[in-house]
Amino acid sequence: MSYRTYTTKALVCGAFDRHGADRTFLLYTREAGMLYAEAKSVRQERSRQRYALQEFSQIRVSLVRGKHTWKVGSVEALRNDYALACNRSARGSVALLYKLLRRYIQGEDPSVRLFDFCETALRVLVEDIPERKAVELYTQVVVMAELGYISEQALPAWFREENIKTVSGKMTESETKRLASLLEQASTHSQL
């Protein structure tokens, strides 16, 4: 019996040690959503996959759907956002986005638009950007709106068409407070 192989881009959102040298990874994939995938002997020093499968990494991975779980086939490292971050605040921004994805995305429900937005956001967040808090807030609100925790009608009219690189100049202090309030309400509702 042959198994079908899926090759997709993914963000490594978490890693959990299992039996000896095995490890299970929490991957946010472009075509399959959030899933757990097992990699055999990846913690051994001779493993070629160990360097690509680090947390905060963007990878291209071949996955095989097994009887009960996904299995990692080949892996190609594209970039490690945490390692590329230019300073401490940039590393904090990267970790914040990965934590947000890990917390709110549940199950194998793909969203190509959200995945592409996260890739773009991570390219911006690793740089030294002015008004980092405004860009972080914008990123969090877009993710939560895409997941359905924030209503599209509650967002400002310019919000969806905005480029993440120029968002800090558009956000007034009152809009920043309003968006922070929306984000707080969304995270409160998600915990109920």
Which tokens is 147 given?
């997941």
Q: In the prediction, which pLDDT does 122 show?
A: 95
* Section 98-119 average pLDDT: 92
Helix pair angle (132-146, 112-125), 10° resolution: 170
pLDDT band at residue 59, thresholds of 50, 70 and 90?
Answer: very high
Residues ≥6 apart with Cβ < 8 Å to 138: 159, 162, 164, 167, 171, 179
Domain positions in the chain are 5-80, 82-190
Nearest CA-CA partner of 64 in 8, 122, 131: 8
The CATH code belonging to domain 5-80 is: 2.40.50.140
Flag whether pLDDT at 112 surpasses 70.
yes
pLDDT tens-digit readout, 92-108? 999 999 999 999 998 88
Q: In the prediction, which pLDDT does 114 show?
A: 94
Helix (H/G/I), strand (E/B), else coil: 91: helix
Flag whether pLDDT at 1 surpasses 60.
no
Flag whether pLDDT at 169 surpasses 80.
no
Instruction: Report the predicted TM-score, pTM, of the whole model to 2 decimal places.
Output: 0.88
Q: In the prediction, which pLDDT does 192 show?
A: 46
Q: In the prediction, which pLDDT does 24 show?
A: 87
Q: In the prediction, which pLDDT does 160 show?
A: 65
Q: CB-side exposure of 141: number of CA atoms within 13 Å?
A: 29
